[in-house]
Amino acid sequence: MLPDIFTCWHDTEFRIIAGFRTKHTALTKRDVLTAATFSAGELENLIELTERMKEMRSGQVLAGRTVALLFFDRSLRTRVSFECATVQLGGHCLNLFAENELYGLEPEDRVVMDGSAEEHVKDAARTLSRYVDALGVRALDRSRSWEVDRQERLLHAYAKYATVPVINLESTLEHPCQAIADIVTIKQNLIDLKGRKLTLAWTDHPDPKGLGPCHSLLHVATMLGMDVTLAHPLGFELDEETVGQARTNAADSGGGLRIVNDLESGLDGAEVLYARAWGSTKYWSDPEREAMVKRSLHSWRIDEAAMARTANALFMHPLPVRRNVVATDSVLDGPRSVIYDQAENRLHVQKALLTHLLG
């Protein structure tokens, strides 16, 4: 049973916030860069805290605190949910947009900055840490190399040099806040998570979408004991290291992970169907080749016939969604769709997360 959400006890070494026990000294901080930041027990506590915060009026946990959100890519739900969460907890939120408001940044150390970058991340992160109490960073790298982009150099440079908590608002490899909101939505509908059947299905899309939401959900679901089916065409495999960690999670939690390369067998028996387009790591350096391969994959779309193959599954998608490309209107607006519950739960997860980090 969690203690009162807004009650803190202090001793010489630890601070306890809403059931989380985390080391707290002037020289330590906790970043949330991946879903692996949390253990299974911490995830369960965070889910419970989210559910409680959804039911009760917010207090002034962040009174006098400021959160800065740095967007190097577009955002709707992440931006608005974090801003509303901060304000509802009594804090102040700053939104900064790289294209119009930030200098070009250099994330690498010991370089001669005679190119386009005007400022080093070290200087930006250390300066911002003097002004604000937490930093959120959204940066989806897309160069010509998956191995380079998966290192997420900008995000990790901010985490390295900031002296306040850094939260991943979506990156090339992960979207932890989205995944926690997704798992909260699943739990609210299925009650128990262990052994429940989740299908994460690739869907067609004209653009090479990011892999972050899929990677984070795969990690969280297998950590909490769900039986996960990953359905995608050949050539659209998820990150090899991430899938390997998910297999380990499933073995440790008593869950499961299987991979299929046809949509129909992936749908059979699913209790939750999570549709999401994602780009190909195989063709990461060749988007023209990826586009050619996808010309034969238009059947990877969720319609009523696809839903009929499931076990009356919940339909989920993180949004934004290309209607009648990724999924049909009848599915998106149907009785088993919980896409707006997912979006709402982003707000409550952000409040729980900010309470955990700053309360």
Position 21 pLDDT exceeds 70: no
Q: How confident is the model at residue 28 (pLDDT cuts 50, 70, 90)?
A: low
| pLDDT tens digits for range 263-285 | 999 999 999 999 999 999 999 99
CA distance 18 to 6: 7
What is the model's pTM? Answer: 0.91
58 within 8 A of 351, measured Cβ to Cβ? yes
CB 169, CB 93: distance < 8 Å: no
On whether the CB atoms of residues 338 and 189 are closer than 8 A, the answer is yes
* Full set of structural domains in the chain with CATH: 29-175+345-358 (3.40.50.1370), 178-342 (3.40.50.1370)
For residue range 330-344, list pLDDT tens digits in order.
999 999 999 999 999
Cβ(210)–Cβ(278) below 8 Å:
yes
Give the pLDDT confidence score for residue 98 in this predicted structure: 85
Average of per-residue pLDDT across 160-178: 98
Mean pLDDT over 222-250 rounds to: 98
Picking from 18-32, 89-103, 141-155, 301-315, which range would have the lowest pLDDT averaged per residue?
A: 18-32
**From its phi and psi, is residue 235 left (phi > 0), alpha (psi between -120 and 50) or beta?**
left
**In the predicted model, what is the mean pLDDT of residues 79-106?**
94
User: Using one digit for the tens of pLDDT, what is the confidence trace for 190-219?
Assistant: 999 999 999 999 999 999 899 999 999 999
pLDDT of residue 208: 87
Is 27's pLDDT higher than 60?
A: no
- Of the CA atoms within 13 Å of residue 54, those in its CB half-sphere come to 19
Q: Does residue 15 carry a pLDDT above 80?
A: no
Q: Give me the mean pLDDT over the 298-302 stretch.
A: 97
pLDDT for 143 beyond 90:
no
Q: Is the pLDDT of residue 18 over 90?
A: no
Residue 24 has pLDDT above 50, yes or no: no
Q: Which of 34-43, 100-109, 114-123, 156-165 has the lowest mean pLDDT?
A: 100-109
pLDDT band at 25 (very low <50, low <70, confident <90, very high): very low
Q: Could you give the C-alpha distances from 208 to 30, 81, 277, 283, 291, in angstroms and in order?
A: 32, 25, 8, 10, 8
The mean pLDDT of the chain is 91
| Crossing angle of helices 212-223 and 40-55, rounded to 10° | 100
Residue 317 or 23, more confident: 317
